[in-house]
Chains A and B, each alone.
Chain A
């Protein structure tokens, strides 16, 4: 092994960042509610995100009931169906996935994994959560507003988003949605500044960038993307809000509605699409990169092997992040833009498959001859790889203009993005919760319930989304609440739709087992100890579990190695913690 320090290893350089002055909560309120501790904020973020996510889950059931058994449920009118679609999509993508990965896992894991006591701006971090909560409440309020929530589709395309014919278009729905998004972005920016600056300025001694666990790399890069991409959504929302409230014509062309000329004129709906997807495509990677990072750590830990090609993994994360900004118009192949643009964006889209494929190969090669422990977190991680490959391959179809044009706006697209950015990240979230729950609570989740939850979820997700590809290939359009008697749609499509609906209901109900497990294990789970998975990264080396306020007790840890020293030949155990100075120092023999 190469020893970087020329002198004694145990001479620790002075801290470049002086030990932070922690804020000290004085009452129950400031400890558990208005807390500035990143770990409490993380749990608040995660709890809120999961709660609103359950609402979105119920909405998906309602949609599936309509598609599987059309006409059976009289309360699901076409308008209601559009509202369900819109709210389901928006909640899942932004208020659940983004908030849970960055606000939840980011807040909990970044300070612990880089050896900091807390985020660098704890007060701003606290504000971030409360603004997020406000955004969620405003979004929820739109269910109870006159006219109901907006039914514009999750992309909120103008002009239809603010016209009378769209549910919520000329009532409260769209206004509440836009205001909620604007608040979400402001709140996220506050949190995002914390995640980025903590990674850059708050690392402990010895934690060079190339020693950070890939989870931190993933969350960090995703946050950078989000900070630069969310302003695009902000701009789009502000301008649409002005169009709706004041009557400007940023996006609204001249329109005749019910025989009446509207006051709008000259606006560009395509401009909205550009802004929306300039945010929307990085958003895919804002969700995917943390998942990539987390899954790398789960696989390495539970296969007891160092991650294959760590450097390549880091470079791939950064490359994907950079490329994700120049592929946005592949969502707009059918918008009537210049064919040369389509050609350009198809090329960049296919190029981004290269770093992504590198990551997949490296996960598989990490598993190769590993000592694989098929515990629940590992099962979810493996399921992610399979699902991500699956969704990624259909992405190659849709990334090509000529293939995309006939498939555009069919259920094939729905199946594709649910596989790649719905099911795949959710599998990682489950795996991550099973993996880190022992650190958060001090107890392990029940393994039996975990396995049951995994198999139902994994097989069920395929039962839902695999047939959906075929439904789409036949030509069934998305966003249609009822298919009617179209000649090109065979009767078997209806059978498949009914099957998908039943599967969706079963998978949804299986999540109750997971929620029960979360609550039950809090009291009755097996005691986990500090490091139940015998993992190397810093969060497992805290002096007490769950980690107290300030994380590390008297001294912050010093890092001597990377995060993947598993099964090192000659080492006394099959892992060496990052803060383990190693045998040389222990024996007193240096260099």
Chain B
């Protein structure tokens, strides 16, 4: 359970840092007035939707940290035999990076109010993501074709489970991206859709991070690293 505990430690650190700025030492029973000096929102100036997405990503992070914890605990059993890493995963990783970059460019285009390049970036990001999902399916086929079935070994089960969970989150993101793209096509200015594009980009960057962590996990580099430590 160390992965989730480390994750929670980070969350606790952020919360503590934030709480430390919230006048928790104040004595409200002695104070009256409208408290002009304090902020009423946790992140002044940040759109509520963005803040909400941040909280949601913390939940998603906790979910994947727990999957990783389960992975390590189960890995300690004797029957664990990691499947070979499908080569195509390297390509997929590159494609997912490209989609993240595309959405990042989309954000800066929306800030410059460059509508056509923003639309282009959104479509490119979406296509790259679809290609990533297709690539993941190729990886699944490759594994099952060489006999690494879902249930034949716990390491295989985890491979399909983790990549599948990540893929489901990507598909959820694609729904939001699709709606954003549709709106970008009818919008007259970048201002109207900028927030949506920013939210998509934020989600994509986060899922890219999650994927990189999963990739390291599935490739077994964590074990190699720990082995060096011993």
Contact = CB atoms under 8 A, between A and B. Distances in A.
Contacts of B8: 228, 325
A227 B31 contact: no
B186 interface: no
A200 B67 CA distance: 29
Contact of A562 (B29, B44, B80): B29
Contacts of A202: 41, 48
A197 interface: yes
Interface string B25-46: 1111111111111111111111
A1 B31 contact: yes
B48 A208 contact: no
Interface string B45-65: 110110110011011001100
Given A17-B41, A314-B24, A120 B52 contact: yes
7 contacts: A120-B52, A200-B41, A203-B41, A246-B151, A247-B151, A268-B73, A561-B28
B55 A310 contact: no
A266 B79 contact: yes
Contacts of B42: 200-201
Interface string A224-249: 10011001101100110010001111
A206 B40 contact: yes
A271 B161 CA distance: 16
B112 interface: no
Interface of B: 1, 4-5, 8, 11-12, 15, 19, 22-46, 48-49, 51-52, 55-56, 58-59, 62-63, 66-67, 69-70, 73-74, 77-80, 150-151, 154, 157, 161, 165
Contacts of A249: 79, 151, 154, 157
Nearest to B22: A209
Contact of B31 (A2, A204, A205, A314): A2
Contact of A1 (B19, B32, B40, B150): B32
Contact of B32 (A196, A326, A582): A582
A395 interface: no
Interface stretch (A8-16, A45-53, A543-551): A8-16
B155 to A, nearest CB: 11
Given A16-B41, A206-B34, A271 B23 contact: no
A534 interface: no
A12 B58 CA distance: 35
Contacts of B12: 322
Q: B27, B63, B69 — which one has the most chain A CB atoms within 10 A of its CB?
A: B63
A108 interface: no
Interface in A512-564: 558-562, 564
Nearest to B7: A228
B34 A197 contact: no
B92 to A, nearest CB: 23
B40 A17 contact: yes
A268 B40 CA distance: 48
Interface in A176-205: 189, 192-193, 196-197, 200-205
Contact of B62 (A9, A11, A231, A322): A231
Contacts of A260: none
A208 B77 contact: no
